[in-house]
Amino acid sequence: MSSGSGCRRPAPDRRGAGSAPAPVCTAHVLPTVYWLRQAQGPGAELHLDRPFKNARLRYISTGHGGWTNGDEFVPKKNTILLNGKEVFSFVPWRQDCGAFRLFNPASGNFNDGLSSSDISRSNWCPGTATNPIYIDLGHLKAGQHRMTVRIPQGPREGTSFSSWNVSGVLVGE
């Protein structure tokens, strides 16, 4: 995927403090993709028409599928690479899903009193929004770049398989 950049200047501070804010620029990097066993992992080629100062990747990742050993229920490290070099890694994981049972009263209730919505998951809980994380990338030069994500996917369990939804937007000045 090739992506250019676009900028907008934020509204001036109405309190009259300091100089005008720097423009905010974006470049669409990783479209929301349903990732299932791609050899290199999800990624995108992007072209920056101009340099990006203070670049950050706005990144969202959620694991899905499988049963007991599926990526939805097993913590997996996400590694983000820029131009082949690791820039960030983390394990996207939510342990607060049980707090949302009130909003999911019929979410796969089991005989032992546990509900499916109670179980910790790979960065999402049934009925909630998944917030992005922001990854600092520093200053990026104009030209071609490649963003790649690596996530070790778990094996199939019978007819069930694991997958990931990932998306990212490059923001900067």
pLDDT tens per residue across span 35-85? 565 556 778 888 899 999 999 999 999 998 877 788 899 999 999 999 999
Token couple for 36: 């299932």
Percent of the chain predicted with pLDDT > 90 = 37
3-state secondary structure of 154: coil
Asked if CATH classification 2.60.120.230 holds for the domain at 31-93+133-172, the reply, yes or no, is yes
Range list of H helices, 6-164: none
Residue carrying the six token digits 């990783």? 30
Give the separation between CA 136 and CA 145, rounded to whole angstroms: 16
167 vs 41 pLDDT, higher one: 167
Closest CA to 160 of 66, 24, 62, 19: 66
| Average confidence score pLDDT of the chain | 81
State the CB neighbour count (10 A cutoff) for residue 162.
27
What's the token pair of residue 85? 């070099």
User: Looking at the predicted structure, is the pLDDT value of residue 166 above 80?
Assistant: yes
Nearest alpha carbon to residue 80 among 133, 19, 39: 133
Q: Which whole number is the average pLDDT over 142-170?
A: 87
